[in-house]
Amino acid sequence: MSQKLRILVSAAPTGPWSALAGRIEAAGAEIRHLAADATDIPAEWTPDAFVTLPVPHATARFDQLDLDAWEAAADAELNTRFRLGQIVARRMNEGAGGAIIHIIAADGLPGAAEAGTSAILSYASAGLSRGIALDLKPGIRSNTLALTPDAASLDAAAAMIVFLAGEQGAGMTGQIAAITPTELQLFAQSRPLRVAHSDGGWDEASLAAQIARWSPYLPRLTENGEAL
């Protein structure tokens, strides 16, 4: 067998996501952790892939969320993904490139009730991932993978991460996917579904009429777990 894939995982000392690194190792990869305050990675160990993790998210109806806790979660999750991703990307750029995989919570994307923190941070992480894919192509790939952090889903994600990190995953970048123990979904991203033109400009009445014409095509908000 060829040399094991080297997969760096952002450190999550506690919480439901902390078990993922062990599952990736069990799937056959060599694992190292990168602390949130890391400024560099081991000189002799250039990773094939880097996995960034979400922080645990509070759940509450949006108006009842604690704003200080929201801000702390946003800082911890988004700034860490940005900063560590940069450190790893610079190292990968010096070598043969690599893959970055942003793990997000499935209650944020596709979404669930009372999961506002998760939704805002998951969507923002997907936006970061897409931007990385565009900026650093073709050497560095970046994808977003949504799941719930139960044991069976972590095992499924570990297999997917090994796929994305390896040669067969070379065509996957800028994508959003979701995985459960039995389902694997590639996502369509937001694009115009319908286009309308009004040569007299738009006003309240003409806009209301246009929206009424579009009503059969309005995307529906997914309910809890429905999309998967």
Partner 1 sequence: MSPISSTLAGKAVIVTGGGGGIGRAVCLHMARLGAHVLVNDLGVSVAGDQSSARAADVVVGDIVAAGGSAVANTMSVTDKAAGKAMVEQAMDSFGRLDIVINNAGIIRMGAYDEMPESDWRGVLQTNLYGAVYLSHAAARQFVRQNSGAYVHMTSAGGLIGSTKQTNYGAAKLGIVGLSQTLARDLGPLGIRSNCIAPSSTSRMTELTDNARKHLMTPEALENLRRARLASVPEHMAPVIAFLGSDAASGLNGQIIGARGSELYLYGHPSPLRGLSSRQGWSAPWLETNLAGAWAPFITPLEVITDVFNWAPVPGSSPTDS
Q: Which of residues 37-76 bind partner 1 (CB under 8 A)?
A: 61-63, 65, 67, 70-71, 74
Longest dimension (CA), the chain: 67
CB 61 within 8 A of CB 178: no
Phi, psi (degrees; rounded to nearest 5) at 185: -125, 130
With a CB cutoff of 8 Å and minimum separation 6, the contacts of 144 are 101, 102, 104, 109, 125, 126, 129, 130, 175, 176, 177
125 touches partner 1 (CB under 8 A): yes
- DSSP state at residue 15: S
- DSSP state at residue 60: B
Q: Candidates 9-17, 31-39, 47-55, 217-225 — which segment interacts with partner 1 by CB under 8 A?
A: 217-225
97 touches partner 1 (CB under 8 A): no
Among 8, 55, 121, 145, binds partner 1 (CB under 8 A): 121
- Helix 116-136 and helix 67-74, axial crossing angle in degrees, nearest 10: 20
> How many chain residues touch partner 1 (CB under 8 A)?
103
- Minimum Å gap between C-beta 7 and partner 1 is 12
133 touches partner 1 (CB under 8 A): yes
36 touches partner 1 (CB under 8 A): no
27 touches partner 1 (CB under 8 A): yes
- Minimum Å gap between C-beta 35 and partner 1 is 16
* Helical spans, DSSP H, in 63-150: 67-74, 80-94, 116-136
Measured CA to CA, the distance from residue 142 to residue 153 in angstroms comes to 21
102 touches partner 1 (CB under 8 A): no
Q: Candidates 14-22, 39-47, 48-56, 133-141 — which segment interacts with partner 1 by CB under 8 A?
A: 133-141
**Among residues 67 and 96, whose Cβ is nearest to partner 1?**
67
Taking residues 185 to 204 in sequence order and writing x for each that binds partner 1 by CB under 8 A, - otherwise, the string is xxxxxxxxxxxxxxxxxxxx
171 touches partner 1 (CB under 8 A): yes
